[in-house]
Amino acid sequence: LTILMLLGFSLSIALLVWWLLGRPRSMEGELKRALRAREFVPYLQPLVSSIDGKVLGAEVLMRWQHPSSGLVRPDLFIPQAEESGIIVPMTQLLMQTVAQQLSQWQQRLPTGFHIGFNISAVHCRDLSLLAECRAFLDHFPPGQLVLVLELTERELLVATPTTLALFKGLDDMGVLLAIDDFGTGHSSLLYLQQFHVDYLKIDQSFISKIGTESLSEHIVDNVIDLGTRLGLALVAEGVETQAQAEYLRGKGVDYLQGYLFGHPVPLRQFCNERLPQEVTAQPMRG
């Protein structure tokens, strides 16, 4: 009996150790496999002008096309990918894929089309992003695309000689910097002070309460005021209703994004449906 109890005990310890160590490691292994299999694909969501609703650009949102689970949303795998650092090669693959596919639509891309990527803080620990952005832009004629990097705030990004050199280099290249989910992170205001920021993206948690909760409305108004005083462009995220869009337009927010204007869709579908049709020559009258 003692031997059986001992066996049972050591088995549960082994299970616990497996659960603690094996589970996260298998997720990392699964991400590595998926990276080799190129299962991370770009979905694009339009960025529209608040004045006339014209599509001015798009944000690239990563999706995991899993062989058995189907389409996996980023909140289920990005945090683990950031923890292990594998988000860096995943983002590199995403940028390469978008550059290759989007460059096939060059004739239909409006000049100055904005294309935004979400960049994790781990990706800013060295200068590799500079070469990756250069390679991305080299797929397009100069000035055709405006590359925007959206900094998420799950991890704190601090001003080190490397990050300062990185953002200086990006700025020199004409790459724009956006603060994503503005108002929800602890470092937002520090970012504004330390890095050359071009855009603020007002978080959808504030936008969604426009018209129903005055506190959120005050926060939105104050972010708009801050952005305007600092000469930054403003983007509202998660716009779902006409009333929200009207409110934001009235306050002078330039760019809107949200389900009201379009869900994220595969790159090819976005280009087919949302880029202006090629101007075809009028047929000659004989």
Q: Where on the chain is the footprint of ligand C2E (CB under 6 A)? A: 45, 61-62, 73-75, 78, 87, 91, 94, 118, 120, 150, 152, 180-181, 204, 237-240, 258-259, 264
CB nearer to ligand C2E: pick between 180 and 254: 180
CB atoms within 10 A of CB 148: 24
CB nearer to ligand C2E: pick between 5 and 122: 122
| Residue 50 contact among ligand C2E, Mg ion, none, beta carbon within 5 to 8 Å by kind | none
CB atoms within 10 A of CB 111: 9
- Please give the structure tokens belonging to residue 7: 């066996």
Q: Which of residues 143-172 bind Mg ion (CB under 5 A)?
A: 150, 171
CB nearer to Mg ion: pick between 30 and 184: 184
118 binds Mg ion (CB under 5 A): yes
Q: Report the nearest approach of Mg ion to the CB of residue 156 (Å).
A: 17
Stretch that binds Mg ion, among 94-102, 133-141, 173-181, 220-228 (CB under 5 A): 173-181
Q: Report the nearest approach of Mg ion to the CB of residue 114 (Å).
A: 12
Q: What track of x and - describes contact with Mg ion for positions 75 through 114 (by CB under 5 A)?
A: ----------------------------------------
Q: Report the nearest approach of Mg ion to the CB of residue 23 (Å).
A: 28
CB nearer to Mg ion: pick between 6 and 262: 262
CB nearer to Mg ion: pick between 13 and 173: 173
**Can you spell out the DSSP letters for the chain?**
-HHHHHHHHHHHHHHHHIIIIIHHHHHHHHHHHHHHTT-EEEEEEEEEETTT--EEEEEEEEEEEETTTEEEPGGGTHHHHHHHTTHHHHHHHHHHHHHHHHGGGGGGSPTTEEEEEEE-GGGGSSSHHHHHHHHHHTTS-TTSEEEEEEEP-SS-----HHHHHHHHHHHHTT-EEEEEEETSSSSHHHHHHHS---EEEE-HHHHTTTTT-HHHHHHHHHHHHHHHHTT-EEEE----SHHHHHHHHHTT--EE-STTT---EEHHHHHHHHSPPP-PPPPPP-
CB nearer to Mg ion: pick between 167 and 247: 167
Q: What track of x and - describes contact with Mg ion for positions 197 through 236 (by CB under 5 A)?
A: -x--------------------------------------
Q: Which residues bind Mg ion (CB under 5 A)?
A: 118, 150, 171, 180-181, 196, 198, 237
